[in-house]
Structure 1
């Protein structure tokens, strides 16, 4: 028996030494560890950030070389209507002011309609190379995978549109994985802090601390409100928005509505690129907080549903006992 055991152990050691010496096995083992790490909370967060950075480089490379003739088109429209207004002024002169105002209003209305159509297509006075900076492309990548979709920056090339579709197909499941994992880790950290504060605030001997402490939904609402208030003050100071507009932008972004009427860092002022990067961090962190509140509120709802189920079951049991008691009394009275 000892001999057989020795032979088995020696054969196992030989196999392990062979597998250790095999470089293919080492590569496979490293790949398994890398995939396992990427499936953790930290790995998924890093993967989302790297995916957004790769997308930013890709979209910037594709779209920055696009030659847009919209600027020349706008110049031609302005020059044409300036000439037409000059002809109107020269024809009517100052003797017929009513005809002058009627003709100029008609020309300006047509000019306004043409300019509105151009602006709706994404024209803001800048060339493609000026629009597709790295921070702008980074924010565009985040808006795709988080399904916010501001719409202030859109791809115009065929390859850019194709890359957007492929990028969204792989990026949205990755964001959902980030949403679930980050919600779990942040919920665990917040629950630990809340439990510690609860135990510190409870006097010894006054009330025994319950075994399971549930974070109330009001605490989650306070955290989200504080985060929105911080963002409202920050964007109001940077963008010279009103506090209502800043809070409106924060709420619509964290709720993934993405209306696109207010987007920070879209002007050509100095420092707008850093605002886009900070907006990227703010939105990504805020979505993690939303995931945390979702997990904590879901736990509270489960506890409430379980308590309701137990109370309802107890109510049914009491009702059954009372009905049986009444039936027994009725039978006793008959006999």
Structure 2
């Protein structure tokens, strides 16, 4: 019975609330994935376009109609003024017309402050049409803010604040994820392009690898030589070293000869391994461990700006300099707003293609800029780590050198400070003393005669030989 109950409990269907929770959890995980974040940004921008079009579109129609009505009324008043005066007095007519024109000028300025751009809406599409509102929504979440289009109503201003609060972090997340994906993809392509044996990048990588191995071998060689010299200085002279291999350098240590392989022979073998395995083993390297040069990243950014300049110069009445200026100002999120797209498209084709092109160019371009920044950051970090490692190696080398000098000096002082009673020291020991230190045998003999039991200082090796001679 217990087993049947456990099976029933295991295969029991989920409730409707649990299903809704699981669906929402999976949906949120998908929306914040690499693919879902793109759709989320595009959908959020489209939603903002519809919202701003509904809020500001009616205000744009009212402003344009008010300006047209004001102009017609001003022209009618001028005609009535001319008919009423019916005089040839130029000064009187100019005074009345100037007053009417001043009133018209004030009304036009008020309309411009309300969003009027001076274009006839019967010939030119509205600035709050769907492509225009889409571009405005994109400039809000990207913090570009051209300034040529801005909300005039209270609801539009409050909606812009709320829209930016949610949209800017979302777009930053989009740049982070898409930039990381593009960076990994580009590094993989760059690694594949540099895998050929004759590639300059591959040759440079092999040369750096060889120099790194050579440096490691020399450091190991210097460390072993320092340890052996330190032990020899502390223990005194030892028998002659045993013969070593032809490609080895031997030093006598406390437990016998210590051989260190010749770095040239080791490097030759490693170069042969690199040459034989450059086509096979190098392909197994992790592409993500390869860094992209900064010059290549700068070339990509400059090329994208130049490509955008050529694109906009084809559809707009701009030259190459103005197109490059607009692309750089837009991609750098400066957004002065002195040059905006859309003029020539309206006059020639009658559609709003420039807003669509500009929106696509900005979304792809900012992701590409994020990719280049990621690659350049990795390159700079790798360079700085190399400099720090080189500085540490130099400091370690100098520190080891000074430490070996200090230890050698201490060992020499300790060997010279061994005290032996005068009774145990013989003339043979005194005669053997100059073999290691420059002592005067006559002076030692005179001192021995004067004080038989005096404690004198002799080298350790000589004292030990004296003991053996006395025994």
Q: What TM bracket, shorter-length normalisation?
A: 0.7 to 0.9
Identify the match of residue 217 of structure 1 among 294, 300, 303: 294
| Aligned-residue offset at 1:273 | 1.1
1:180 is the counterpart of 2:176: yes
Aligned counterpart, 1:14: 8
- 1:217-236 equivalences in 2 (<5 Å): 217-236=294-313
* 1:125-153 deviation line (CA, Å, top 9, x unaligned): 24698221000000000000000000010
Moved more, 160-169 or 30-39: 30-39
TM-score (norm: length of structure 1) = 0.80
1:46 is the counterpart of 2:39: yes
Identify the match of residue 358 of structure 2 among 272, 276, 279: 279
Aligned counterpart, 2:243: none
> Aligned in 2, Cα 1:261/1:333: closer, same or farther, shift over 3 Å?
same
> Aligned in 2, Cα 1:16/1:150: closer, same or farther, shift over 3 Å?
farther
* Structure 2 counterpart SS, 1:130: coil
Aligned counterpart, 1:307: 386
* Structure 2 counterpart SS, 1:131: coil
Structure with higher RCO (Cα < 8 A, 6+ apart): 1
Identify the match of residue 25 of structure 2 among 17, 26, 32: 32
| Aligned-residue offset at 1:192 | 1.1
> Aligned in 2, Cα 1:90/1:248: closer, same or farther, shift over 3 Å?
farther
Aligned counterpart, 2:231: none
- 1:56-67 equivalences in 2 (<5 Å): 56-66=49-59, 67=62
Instruction: Name the CA distance, whole Å, in 2 between partners of 1:299 and 1:239.
Output: 38
- 1:191-270 equivalences in 2 (<5 Å): 191-200=187-196, 202=198, 205=275, 208=278, 209=282, 212-266=289-343, 268-269=346-347, 270=349
TM-score (norm: length of structure 2) = 0.58
> Aligned in 2, Cα 1:223/1:132: closer, same or farther, shift over 3 Å?
same
Aligned counterpart, 2:145: 149
Instruction: Name the CA distance, whole Å, in 2 between partners of 1:206 and 1:263.
Output: 58
> Aligned in 2, Cα 1:34/1:263: closer, same or farther, shift over 3 Å?
same
Instruction: Name the CA distance, whole Å, in 2 between partners of 1:287 and 1:62.
Output: 28
Q: Is the Cα–Cα contact under 8 Å of residues 71 and 104 in structure 2 kept in the other structure?
A: no
Structure with the bigger percentage of helix: 1
* Structure 1 counterpart SS, 2:21: helix
Instruction: Name the CA distance, whole Å, in 2 between partners of 1:280 and 1:224.
Output: 18
Q: Is the Cα–Cα contact under 8 Å of residues 115 and 152 in structure 2 kept in the other structure?
A: no
Instruction: Name the CA distance, whole Å, in 1 between partners of 2:115 and 2:324.
Output: 25
> Aligned in 2, Cα 1:91/1:259: closer, same or farther, shift over 3 Å?
same
Aligned counterpart, 1:23: 16
Instruction: Name the CA distance, whole Å, in 2 between partners of 1:313 and 1:74.
Output: 78
1:320 is the counterpart of 2:314: no
Q: Which runs of 5+ in 2 are unaligned?
A: 95-100, 200-273, 417-471
**The structure with more radius of gyration:** 2
Aligned counterpart, 1:95: none
> Aligned in 2, Cα 1:225/1:113: closer, same or farther, shift over 3 Å?
farther
| Aligned-residue offset at 1:65 | 1.0
> Aligned in 2, Cα 1:122/1:245: closer, same or farther, shift over 3 Å?
farther
Runs of 4+ off more than 6 Å = 108-118, 332-335
Aligned counterpart, 2:126: 130
* 1:151-186 deviation line (CA, Å, top 9, x unaligned): 010000100000000000000010011010011111
Aligned counterpart, 1:96: none
| Aligned-residue offset at 1:24 | 2.1
| Aligned-residue offset at 1:119 | 5.2
Q: Which runs of 5+ in 1 are unaligned?
A: 93-99, 101-107
Instruction: Name the CA distance, whole Å, in 2 between partners of 1:13 and 1:224.
Output: 61
Instruction: Name the CA distance, whole Å, in 2 between partners of 1:222 and 1:11.
Output: 68
Aligned length: 315
